[in-house]
Amino acid sequence: MLPETPQRTRMIIMIVMVVAALLIIVVEPLLVQQILPPIIKGQQTRYEKMSTSDNSEDLAKAELIKDTPYLVSFFYPFWMGLGVVGAIVVLVIARAYYRNESWARGVALLCFALPSMGGAYMLVPAINFTGFGTYVIYAMIISLLGLIPYFTILLAEKSDMMQKVVNFFFFLFLGVQGAHSFANSHAALRIQWMHPARPSWPPGTWVLWLGPQTMWWGTIALILAILFLGLRKKAGWYLALIGGLVTMVTNFWIHFVRGTTSDYLLGGSMGLIVVVLALIPAFKQRLFDE
């Protein structure tokens, strides 16, 4: 059964949802305008520096980041657009949530997961190309605008402590693994398509097709799992298990073949965590209703 949350608590949650949605609609476009230009400028500056270097290794790496600004300038606004659309959806369904209509809980969780994942996806480019400064804080603010109402819905509802623990950790890892696997797939796509040897696959790079062509499907499964588990449907558990397995296998494949960074090892490990949590009976029985 969906949580039988008292009317007053639902009212508080609805207010948090509406305020967060309004902030997302107003703040996100402004933050995108602030954060994207310096990141792109940093990427272009690094390319120019590496492409004019006397070091052969720098010259080779320069080709792999040459078109990165185009990818980031598409995918970051893409995620932020999803966040704004999700916020508008929340404003439309907020009253339905307050009336305790069963479908509204899952939709609200999905809508707030989108800006959270978009902000998380942007953290690495912000750190890599602007340092640990203002723009990293902007990316964190975008994530928090989604995370605060996301966990308010999950934790303010009437349920016992064990249910709150299950909700917190499982829904946390669904979002984190979804964002991380999307970012890893983005990196694989970048290297696969910008490598000077393309369309050939030099040794160690052939495995990168598992990123965008396979891992993104696992990411979609994890995102949909948030929706269906928010509705307490068993389909959500299956989607979480499938998404966890797909992202685990593809991340580990890329790591063991290519192994140049720890990003894919971390992604495979987090996918494994999703799978393990989904299979623990104490977690599984609290995630959906038969």
pLDDT grade, residue 187 (50/70/90)? confident
Q: Which residues make Cβ contacts (< 8 Å) with residue 120, sequence separation at least 6?
A: 139, 143, 175, 176, 179, 180, 183
Give the pLDDT confidence of 61-98 residue by residue, as tens digits: 787 788 888 888 899 899 999 999 999 999 999 999 99
148 and 16 both lie in a single domain: yes
Question: Is the model's pLDDT at 46 over the cut of 60?
Answer: yes
Greater model confidence, 221 or 202: 221
Kindly state the average pLDDT of the residues 265-284.
96
pLDDT grade, residue 27 (50/70/90)? very high
264 and 178 both lie in a single domain: yes
pTM above 0.85, yes or no: yes
Residue 143: domain span: 1-158
Kindly state the average pLDDT of the residues 261-274.
94
Kindly state the average pLDDT of the residues 220-246.
97
- The domain tally of the chain equals 2
8 and 140 both lie in a single domain: yes
Helix ranges, the chain (H): 7-51, 56-65, 68-98, 102-130, 134-156, 161-194, 216-230, 234-257, 263-279, 281-287
119 and 205 both lie in a single domain: no
User: What would the two tokens of residue 235 be?
Assistant: 């389909």
154 and 231 both lie in a single domain: no
Q: Mapping DSSP to helix (H, G, I), strand (E, B) and coil, where does residue 16 land?
A: helix
13 and 62 both lie in a single domain: yes
pLDDT grade, residue 195 (50/70/90)? confident
